[in-house]
């Protein structure tokens, strides 16, 4: 029972870095044989509110059992954090990214697979660009690699005068359709943010993100690891994610646009994101023997069609998922993915007893 409590609640640590203290929650055994999964949350959220529903999702447990998961809270953003005093100089995005190597050193991990949402995606991108040998893969949800232009800056100034901090952040987290629908999820986060005891800290984090610099990513200067970009088709940052995808190396990047998804797909559609994440890490050579879920078995044909008969990868890998299914993102390791697809096709055809299908798979 004690072990189960530790697994559910995690082990909390306050890690000293050259730039201040980071609150970190670790789940797992701290085995360093594999990279850790390191997460970073969005503005207005902390690691629990941003990632707990995803990492406690039933089908995610197969991944959680095979990896150590490290949830990082930005300075002063963790639940129950004390409010910073007036005039406190909050660290920049660059400085926060520079704090992450201390987390790896503390737990003795050489590499990580980063999972970031919004602001967290930007910070992990900075970290990966500065420390390419420390990052084996990146999952970036709602990434915006661009700095704010003058028009955006002026618009933000106007919004800050006419809207409360809570509403500014809500417009960042959710689409206008979601805000208009006032779902239970929207109501919960609006109340949670407005009543947060560390609201001043949230504001500092938000303002720092709005002062970010351009990541300057292009085909010749990009990530050295496989990347999966994720965005909902109704998300506030859909255009920014599409633009980021256009700048990336198509041979190492998968782009997953989730249909009927708003600003926080890890909360509203954990099944689809879990499925995509599983294929992503399988493509990196981990969990190759992992069993597929019922959802993925129904998609075997769609996955197989992502590759041509000679094994070459199609140039465009933009994928959309509807509520009834769709394609999953191909992995960065072509050989591994093909083996997985063929094995699962055989398994699926055996279940249905279709002799013709088995002959096709063998060919």
Would the pLDDT of 18 be above 70? yes
Residues 6+ apart with CB under 8 A from 30: 68, 107, 108
> pLDDT > 70: what percent of the chain?
73
Would the pLDDT of 353 be above 50? no
Which of the pair, 271 or 331, is modelled with greater confidence? 271
**Residues 222-233, mean pLDDT to the nearest whole number:** 94
Per-residue pLDDT band at 159 (split at 50, 70, 90): low
Residues 6+ apart with CB under 8 A from 289: none
Going from the C-alpha of 190 to that of each of 182, 204, 363, the distances in angstroms are: 10, 18, 55
How is the beta sheet containing 227-232 ordered, strand by strand?
11-17, 20-27, 69-73, 36-40, 112-117, 135-141, 227-232, 253-258, 318-322, 325-326
Contact 327, 255 (CB under 8 A): no
Per-residue pLDDT band at 148 (split at 50, 70, 90): low
Contact 122, 145 (CB under 8 A): yes
Contact 27, 10 (CB under 8 A): yes
**Residues 47-62, mean pLDDT to the nearest whole number:** 94
Residue 24: closest CA among 66, 69, 54, 57: 69
Would the pLDDT of 347 be above 80? no
> Quick one: which H or E segment has residue 203?
helix 199-210
Class of the CATH domain delimited by 1-284: alpha beta
- The ranges assigned to domains in the chain are 1-284
* β-strand partners of 140: 116, 229
3-state secondary structure (DSSP) of residue 105: helix
Q: What is the pTM of this model?
A: 0.78
For the purposes of burial, counting CB atoms within 10 Å of the CB of 242, is it exposed (0-12), middle (13-18) or buried (19 or more)?
A: middle
* β-strand partners of 24: 13, 72
Would the pLDDT of 92 be above 80? yes
Cα of first residue to Cα of last residue in the chain, in angstroms, is 50
Would the pLDDT of 8 be above 70? no
CA dihedral (18, 76, 129, 266) in degrees, to 10, reads: 150
Task: Please give the mean pLDDT across all residues of the chain.
Answer: 80
Torsion sign over Cα 122, 128, 131, 135:
positive
**Residues 102-113, mean pLDDT to the nearest whole number:** 96
Per-residue pLDDT band at 356 (split at 50, 70, 90): very low
Per-residue pLDDT band at 260 (split at 50, 70, 90): confident
Contact 144, 244 (CB under 8 A): yes
Q: What is the pLDDT of residues 191-208, one digit of tens each?
A: 999 999 999 999 999 999
> Distance between CA 264 and CA 267 in Å, rounded?
6
Would the pLDDT of 157 be above 70? no
């Amino acid at each position: 029972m004690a072990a189960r409590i530790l697994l559910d609640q995690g082990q909390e640590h306050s890690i000293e870095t050259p730039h201040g203290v980071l609150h970190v929650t670790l789940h797992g055994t701290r085995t360093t044989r594999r990279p850790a999964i390191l997460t970073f949350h969005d503005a207005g959220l902390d690691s629990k509110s941003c990632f707990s529903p995803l990492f406690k999702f039933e089908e995610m447990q197969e991944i959680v059992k095979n990896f150590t998961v490290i949830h990082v809270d930005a300075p002063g953003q963790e639940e129950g954090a004390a409010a910073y005093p007036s005039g406190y100089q909050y660290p920049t995005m660059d400085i926060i990214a520079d704090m992450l190597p201390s987390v790896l050193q503390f737990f003795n991990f050489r590499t990580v697979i980063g999972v970031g949402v919004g602001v967290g995606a930007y910070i992990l991108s900075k970290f990966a660009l500065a420390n390419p040998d420390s990052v084996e893969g990146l999952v970036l949800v709602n990434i915006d690699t661009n700095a704010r232009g003058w028009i955006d800056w002026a618009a933000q100034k106007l919004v800050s005068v006419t809207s409360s901090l809570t509403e500014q952040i809500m417009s960042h987290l959710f689409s206008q359709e979601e805000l208009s629908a006032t779902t239970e999820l929207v109501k919960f986060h609006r109340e949670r943010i407005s009543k947060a005891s560390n609201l001043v800290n949230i504001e500092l984090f938000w303002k720092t993100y709005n002062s970010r610099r351009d990541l300057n990513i292009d085909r010749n200067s990009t990530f050295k690891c496989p990347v999966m970009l994720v965005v909902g088709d109704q998300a506030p940052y859909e255009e920014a994610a599409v633009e980021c995808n256009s700048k990336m190396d198509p041979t190492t990047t998968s782009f997953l646009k989730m249909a009927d998804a708003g600003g926080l797909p890890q909360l509203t559609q954990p099944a689809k994101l879990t499925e995509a994440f599983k294929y992503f890490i399988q493509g990196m050579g981990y969990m190759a023997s992992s069993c597929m879920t019922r959802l993925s078995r129904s998609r075997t044909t769609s996955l197989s069609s992502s590759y041509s008969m000679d094994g070459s990868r199609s140039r465009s890998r933009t994928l959309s998922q509807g509520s009834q299914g769709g394609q999953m993102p191909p992995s960065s390791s072509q050989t591994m993915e093909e083996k997985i697809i063929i094995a699962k096709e055989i398994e699926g055809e055996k279940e249905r007893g279709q002799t013709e299908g088995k002959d096709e798979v063998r060919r």
